[in-house]
Structure 1
Amino acid sequence: MNGEDTPLHADTGVTSGLFVERSLNEIRFWARIMKEHSLFLRLGFRAEDTQLIQEANQFYRIFEYIEQTAHSFNNQTDPEQIRRFNSEVQQAASNIFLFKRKVLGLILTCKLPGANNFPLLVDHTSREANYFRKRLIELNEGKLQSLPDAIIKENVFFLRIMADHAKFIGHLLDPSERKLVDLARNFSNDFDQLLYQARDLESMKPQSQTVPLLDQFLDQNRVSVVSLRDFKKTARDLIEQCKIKSIIHPLLADHVFREADRFLEIIDMFDTHLTHGTP
C-alpha cells in the first residue's frame, strides 16, 4: 500500500505516494487558512453575537486539530488512512463553508448592523473553503484535470483572490496612508484586468489551450503576483513594526502574503509541467 509506484487509480496513473504528498500539502496549507478565517470572522462580530462567536471558536479548534494531525503524518503514511483523513477534513471544510454563507446572508439582510466583516471578505473566505473542499474530493476520487484545464481554472480562482486582497488592504489601511492606499488600488485594478483576461482565455477553450498561449499567460501572471507578494511582505513588515496606520491585524497581513506565495508556487509548478512535461 505504501509503495511509491502503486497506482491509486488504474485510469489516472496517479501513484499512492503522490496522492499522499498532495493531500498533506493541501491540508497543511488550507487548514491553517481556515483556522485563521475563523479568527478573523470572530474579530469582526459584535460583542452580542455570542452564538456566532462560539461557532467561530469551534471552527478554530477543529482546524487547529486538523492542522496538527496533518503534520503528524508523512509521505509514507498509508494512503487509505490519508483517504479517510481527507474525507473527515472535507466534511469540516463543507461545514465552515456553510457557516460562512450563513454569516454572509445575515450581513446582506442587515441582521448584523455594526459588525466589521465586509460581505466581500466573507464571500472570499467561503470561496476558499469551497476550493479546499473540492480539492479533497478530487484527490480522493483520483480525478486530476488535464494540465491546460488546471492552469486556466487555478489562475482564474487565484487571480480573483489576489484582486480581493488588494481591495481589502486598500480599505483597511488608514485613509491618511495615501500612497499605500493608491498602491493597493492599482494592484486591485491590475488583478481585475488579469482576471478578465483569464476568463476570456477560459471562454475560448479548447482552442486557446496551446502551449505558447498558456506559457505567456503564466509569465504575465507571475510578474504581477511577484509584485503583489512583495508589496504584501513590505506591508506585513511595516504593520508588525507599527510603522504604518491601519486596522489590519498582523496575522491577516501575513495570511494574505502566504496566499500570494502559494499562488506563485502553483504558477511555477504549472510552468515546469508545461515546459518539461513532468507529471
Structure 2
Amino acid sequence: MANPIVARSLDEIQFWSRIMKEHALFLSLGFTYEQKQLIDEARQFITVFERIEEKLSRFNVNSDLNQVKAFNTEVYQAAAAIWSYKRKVLDLTLRCVIRTNNFPLLVDHISREAAYFANRLKELNKGVLVPKPDEVIQENVFFLRIMADHAKFIGHLLDPSERKLVEQAREFSHDFDQLLFQAIDLDSMRPQSETKPLLSQFLDQNKVSVASLRDFKKTARELIEACRIKSNIHPLLADHTFREAERFLEIIDLFEYSLNTSQS
C-alpha cells in the first residue's frame, strides 16, 4: 500500500515546482534589459526546477519513504533559495535601486508561495499530512490572500478599455478581501473546544467563492489565448492563476475529508 506521505510529497512537488519555475520566468520577463544579472539568476532557477521535475519523474507512490524524504529536503533547499532571491528583488524594488515591470505586491506574493512550499516539505518530512483543525483557518488565510492578490493583478494588467472585466476583477478583489478579513476574525475568536461546525461552514463558503473566481480565470485565460481581450497578461500567467484556484479547491476538499474522517 502506498505511503500517504510519499504520495502527498510527490503531489506537492509536482504542483509547486512548476509554479516556482513559472515565477522565475515571470520575473525574468519583468526586468529591464540592463538588469542582466537578475535575469540570469531567474533563468538559473528555471533550470533548477526543471531538473527537479525531471528527477520527480523517477519517483512514484510506491517509492521508498526515506528516499522521498531526502528528495523533499533537496527541493526544500531550492524553494528556500528562490524565496531568498525573490525577497532580494523585493528589497531592491522597494528601495528604488531597481525599477521593473513586476509589481512589489506580486514579488511579495510569489515569495509567500515559495515560503509555503518550503514549509509544506518540512511538515511532510515530520509526518504531517494535513494541518490540524485549529490550523486549517490559517491555511485558508494564506490561500484567500493569494486569491485576492490574483484579482488585483488581473485588474491592473487588463487594458483600461476592458471596463467590464476590470470591474469584475475589482469585485473579486473586494470579495476575497472580505473573506480574508472574516477568516482572520474567525481565527481570533475561535473557541478552544469545538471548531468543526465553524470550520465546515467556513470551508463551504470559501469553496463557493473560489469556484466562482476559478471560472472567471478560466474564461479570462481562454479569451487571452484567443487574443479576444486587450491586456498585458501573459497566457501562461492566466493559466498559472487558474491552476492555483483549482489547487485551493482541492485543498478545501482535502480539509473537508479530514474533518469528516476525524468526526466518524
- Pairing 1:250–2:235 present: yes
Q: 1:177 aligns with which of 145, 154, 162?
A: 162
Q: Which amino acid aligns with 1:161?
A: I
Alignment of structure 1 residues 72-221 onto 2, 5 Å: 72-113=58-99, 115-143=100-128, 147-207=132-192, 210-221=195-206
- In structure 2, the CA distance between the partners of 1:235 and 1:209, relative to structure 1 (3 Å rule), is farther
User: What does residue 11 of structure 1 align with?
Assistant: none
Q: CA RMSD in A?
A: 1.6
Q: Which of these residues, 61, 70, 73, is aligned with residue 56 of structure 2? A: 70
Give 1:19 deviation, angstroms. Answer: 1.1
> Please, what TM-score do these two structures have when normalized by structure 2?
0.96
Amino acid at match of 1:84: A
Equivalent in 247, 266, 277 of residue 251 of structure 2? 266
In structure 2, the partner of 1:13 is: none
Residue 229, structure 1, aligned to residue 214, structure 2: yes
Percentage of identical aligned residues: 66
| Distance (Å, rounded) in 2 between the aligned partners of 1:206 and 1:67 | 42
Residues 278/209 of structure 1: CA separation in 2 closer, same or farther (3 Å cut): closer
Give the CA deviation at 1:146: 5.1
- Give the TM-score normalised by structure 1: 0.91
Contact 1:148–1:209 (8 Å) recurs in 2: no
TM-fit CA distance, 1:70: 1.4
The aligned length equals 264
Structure 2 unaligned segments of length 5 or more: list them: none
State whether residues 147 and 245 of structure 2, in contact with CA within 8 Å, keep that contact through their aligned partners in structure 1. yes
Per the TM alignment, residue 163 of structure 1 is displaced from its structure 2 partner at its CA by 0.2
Whether contact under 8 Å (1:28, 1:71) holds in the other structure is no
Contact 1:156 1:198 in 2 (8 A): yes
Q: Equivalent of 2:4, from 18, 30, 33?
A: 18
What secondary structure, in the 3-state scheme, does the structure 2 residue paired with 1:58 have?
helix
Name the amino acid aligned to 2:60.
N
Show CA shifts across 1:152-202 (max 9, x none).
Answer: 121111000000000000000000000000000000000000000111111
Report how far residue 45 of structure 1 moved: 0.4
Deviation of residue 65 (structure 1)?
Answer: 1.1
1:41-86 deviations in whole A, cap 9, x for unaligned?
A: 0000010101000000000010111122213210111111111111
